[in-house]
Structures are given as structure tokens and as C-alpha cells.
Amino acid sequence: MAQEKGYFEEQSLNIEFEFFRTGDSMIAPLSLRQLDVGVGKTGPALFNAINMGLDVGVFAGLAQQMNGIGGAPLLVRTDLFESGVVTAPGCCRYAILSTT
């Protein structure tokens, strides 16, 4: 919706979207630096990837839900977070973003 309404262009953001069927399927491309940011669930696949030392982690919640209903976290590569490139949602001028 934001892209369709021109919000990214208005903020001089160059966003490339990649669509995946599940959040779990984003983990490998994130860890291989083929994606910069992904939106998906926290679950076993993500925790296993972190436990294996892959370059992924949870950055921030993306959605606010009613009490008792989960939201979708914003996933970002560790190097982008630790280097300060990604410090908050909306801080990137260019990113490869994926969503399910």
C-alpha cells in the first residue's frame, strides 16, 4: 500500500520487494545477504538459525495487535543492525525487503 500511494518515493526510498510464501523461507536469503529486511513470524526456524550462528535476528515488532494476538516482527541482518545502518523502522534509504 505504501508503495502504491507513493510514500517510499516521497521519502526518497528505493525499496525492492521480494515475496515469499512463508516467513521461514526468508531465513536463508537473509543469512546469505540476499535480503536486507524480512517481515515474518518468530518461530522454530528463526530460533534454529540464530542458534546455528546465521546472520539473522529479530529487530522490532511491525504490527500492533489486540492483547493475546501475536504480531509480525521486523527481521534484519545482524551486520546492518550492529553497524547502525538499520536502527529503527523507516531509517533505510535502500533495502531489499521481503514479506509474506
The answer to whether residue 73 is domain-embedded is yes
Could you tell me the pLDDT band of residue 98, with boundaries at 50, 70 and 90? low
CA–CA dist 77, 69 (Å, integer): 26
The answer to whether residue 37 is domain-embedded is yes
The answer to whether residue 87 is domain-embedded is yes
Question: Is the confidence at residue 5, as pLDDT, over 80?
Answer: yes
The answer to whether residue 7 is domain-embedded is no
The answer to whether residue 1 is domain-embedded is no
The answer to whether residue 33 is domain-embedded is yes
pTM over 0.75: no
The answer to whether residue 39 is domain-embedded is yes
What the block records as the C-alpha cell of 64 is 500492533
The answer to whether residue 6 is domain-embedded is no
pLDDT of residue 54: 80
pLDDT of residue 74: 64
pLDDT of residue 68: 60
What is the domain extent for residue 60? 12-99
CA–CA dist 26, 58 (Å, integer): 13
Count up the domains in the chain and report the number.
Answer: 1
pLDDT of residue 56: 74
Q: What is the pLDDT of residues 54-86, one digit of tens each?
A: 877 666 555 555 666 555 566 677 887 788 877
Q: What is the pLDDT of residues 7-46, one digit of tens each?
A: 888 988 888 888 888 878 888 888 888 888 777 777 788 7
